[in-house]
Chains A and B, each alone.
Chain A
Amino acid sequence: KADSHSHDEL
């Protein structure tokens, strides 16, 4: 679940 909204975008 954490991976689904990891904030790797700018």
Chain B
Amino acid sequence: MNVFRLLGDMSHLLAILILLLKMWKTRSCAGISGKTQILFALVFTTRYLDLFSSFISIYNTTMKLFFIASSYFTIFLMYSKFKATYDSNHDSFRMEFLVVPVGGLAFLVNHEFLPLEILWTFSIYLESVAILPQLFMVSKTGEAETITSHYLFALGSYRLLYIFNWVYRYYFDGFFDLIAVVAGCVQTILYCDFFYLYITKVLKGKKLSLPA
């Protein structure tokens, strides 16, 4: 555990808390992509099956359980409790366009051809693109609530910090996981446009809106 990894995890945790707080306080999930949240639940479920097979630390187990539980709770809020506020018309990205190719790739490019390993690889690839329905939704409506942009910024920061973590681990621990690094870089690159808008607009007190 190094400082970048810890900050990354905390940023990820913060993103989830911001999202839950936004929905709970405003009693609404307007502007949030249910597709992205379903994909995240799938990511956590397939990645953390190792909860049953290996123990790393109390910290690791606690975080995994929280990520899984919060992702399903988010889906419950969006598709049940606050269903009336869910903007499904703008959430039109097709999940199968991501899940199917990513599933195929996980079968072809993995560290070991074992069920748990393929599922882990699937989750890594899927996480890298799971934000696309959310970004698609923002671009379709042309705007995002400020709280939603804070959520996206925290989520993007998490992956950027993980890249610093991998650089650190490469030099100081001799650790290098090509699959995680490539997917993590792809994931971070997807946020670049958003980061630019966040820094130039939201941090200056303006709402995040895209040019028409």
Contact = CB atoms under 8 A, between A and B. Distances in A.
B111 A10 contact: no
Contact of B67 (A3, A4, A9, A10): A10
Interface stretch (B95-103, B172-180, B200-208): B172-180
B9 interface: yes
Given A9-B162, A10-B63, 14 more contacts: A3-B175, A4-B175, A4-B177, A5-B177, A7-B47, A7-B50, A7-B120, A8-B56, A9-B165, A9-B180, A10-B9, A10-B60, A10-B64, A10-B67
Contacts, number: 23
A4 B175 CA distance: 6
Closest A-B pairs by Cβ, 7 of them: A5-B111, A5-B177, A8-B56, A10-B63, A10-B9, A7-B120, A7-B50
B35 interface: no
A5 B175 CA distance: 8
Interface residues of B, number: 19
A3 B47 CA distance: 17
Interface string B173-193: 001110110000000000000
23 contacts: A3-B175, A4-B175, A4-B176, A4-B177, A5-B111, A5-B177, A5-B179, A5-B180, A7-B47, A7-B50, A7-B120, A8-B56, A8-B60, A9-B5, A9-B162, A9-B165, A9-B180, A10-B9, A10-B12, A10-B60, A10-B63, A10-B64, A10-B67
